[in-house]
Amino acid sequence: MNHNLKEGLEVVQALEAYLLKIAPKNVETVIAPPFIHIAQAAEISKNTHLSIAGQDCSAQESGAFTGEVSAAMLKSAGAELVIIGHSERRQYFKETHAQLSAKVEQAWANNLLPIFCVGESLEDRKAGHHFKTVEDQISGALGKYDAAQLENLVIAYEPVWAIGTGETASGAQAQEMHAHIRSFIAQQHNATLADEISVLYGGSVKPANAEELFGQPDVDGGLIGGASLQADTFIELIKIGEAVL
β-strand partners of 116? 84, 155
Q: Hey, how many other C-beta atoms are within 10 angstroms of the C-beta on 98?
A: 11
Single out the residue of 42, 175, 184, 156 nearest to residue 88, CA to CA.
Answer: 156
φ and ψ of 127, to 5 deg: -85, -5
SS3 state at 154: strand
For residue 163, give the amino acid letter.
I
SS3 state at 91: helix
| 216 Cβ contact list (under 8 Å, min separation 6) | 171, 174, 175, 178, 201
| 227 Cβ contact list (under 8 Å, min separation 6) | 205, 206, 207, 233, 234, 237
Residue among 37, 49, 86, 189 flagged as catalytic: 86
Q: Is 158 a catalytic residue?
A: yes
β-strand partners of 52? 31
Residue among 16, 120, 135, 158 flagged as catalytic: 158
SS3 state at 115: strand
- Quote the Cα angle for 174-177-183, to 5°: 140
Are 200 and 223 a contacting pair, CB within 8 Å? yes
Give catalytic residues, as residue numbers: 86, 158
